[in-house]
Structure 1
Amino acid sequence: MHNDTMVTLVGLVATEPVYGGSAYGGAARFRLAVTPRRWDREKETWFDGHTSYYTVWAPKALGVNVAASVSVGEPVLVRGRLKVKEDNYDGRRGSSVEIDAVAVGHDLARGTSDFRRVTPGRPGAGESGAFGWPEGGGTPPEPGARAAVLPGPVPEPVPVPPF
């Protein structure tokens, strides 16, 4: 859409991603906590600003991969369409902010990640079918399930100064 407000947020995963299906297809949902950090020149120290929480919706294949790759407390970047909803809760008005994600990834400024490509099933594709599930259908990964770790040395994390 032409008038969508696209945003990029950097924060921490606040709730475990939950994947569910519907008549319109599946999606994963999780809460993202975004806390700005500011430098106080007078005190020469960092301080945290007010934390904002967003509900992130990741549709279809993105949602499957988010549910299999992201856990509570991990730093992530989310790119998507901003939606502000006005609601009525027991006669009280309120609003919520949601992001319809088009991309989600780990914040590599704050740690390392191990990417594994998922390829759609096709003749000769090997052991993986659609979305990396077993050939012949199979089932999607359990919410919060992690892919197997590949053998080999794990690189040392690079220390990063606070934001």
Structure 2
Amino acid sequence: MNETVVCVVGNVATAPVYRELAAGPSLRFRLAATARYWDREKSAWTDGHTNFFTVWANRQLAANAMASVEVGQPLVVQGRLKVRTDGREGQQQWASADIDATAIGHDLSRGTAVFRRAVKPEQPTAQPRPEPDWETPGPAATGDGTLAQQGSEPATVT
């Protein structure tokens, strides 16, 4: 497939919105990525243009991000870029850049984080079933050392 995979470093701009859907959990938030450059005339770092992305996370990534992400935190987001354009009658056309996230993490160049492995909910344990007896009974010995026939009487063929 020809997908555009991007890695964006930025700050969380809006509070994450978490929803439980039929397909599983979903999370959405906006990420602001501002270009910075060294201005030689001012001898200082200067902010450039800010790009805003709508980040979408699904399933376990959504649940983990909801527990970890807050407004203002620096993040690194990797995922598939989707650019949508839309326009309604009488209104100006607009474009939206969405990232379908495959990985989200805190930018450790700007702070520290503590990782906690997600605990999966325990499944109810079923009662153990008894082990089946797979051995077939062998012929039983009689008191005189001969083998006795087991089961019903032999069928007669007429």
| TM band (smaller chain) | 0.7 to 0.9
> 1:107-122 residue pairs with structure 2 within 5 A?
107-120=107-120
Residue 9 of structure 1 aligns with which residue?
A: 8
Q: Distance in 2 between matches of 1:7 and 1:114?
A: 25
Higher relative contact order (CA 8 A, sep 6+): 1
Code of the residue aligned with 1:18 in structure 2: it is V
Q: Post-superposition shift, 1:25?
A: 2.1
TM-score (norm 1): 0.71
1:22 CA displacement: 2.1
Aligned 1:1-163 pairs, distance under 5 A: 2-89=1-88, 91=90, 92-120=92-120, 129=121
Whose radius of gyration is greater, 1 or 2?
Answer: 2
TM-score after normalising by structure 2: 0.73
RMSD (CA atoms): 1.5
Could you list the runs of 4 or more consecutive aligned residues of structure 1 that deviate by over 4 angstroms after TM superposition? none
Aligned to 1:142: none
Task: Determine the C-alpha separation between the residues in 2 that align with 1:90 and 1:25.
Answer: 35
Which stretch of structure 1 is more off in the superposition, 3-12 or 24-33? 24-33
Give the Cα separation in 1 of the matches to 2:16 and 2:85: 24
Identity %: 53
The alpha carbon displacement at 1:4 in A equals: 0.5
Any idea what the Cα deviations from partners look like across 1:21-42, whole Å, max 9, x if unmatched? 2232221000000001100122
The letter of the residue matching 1:106 is H
Deviations 1:84-117 (A, max 9, x none): 0011245331110000000000000000001100
Runs of 5+ unmatched residues, structure 1: 121-128, 137-163
C-alpha distance in structure 2 between counterparts of 1:42 and 1:32, whole Å: 30
Q: Distance in 2 between matches of 1:89 and 1:52?
A: 23
The total of aligned residue pairs comes to: 123
Aligned to 1:141: none
Task: Please state which structure has a larger fraction of its residues in strand.
Answer: 2
Matched position secondary structure for 2:70 = coil
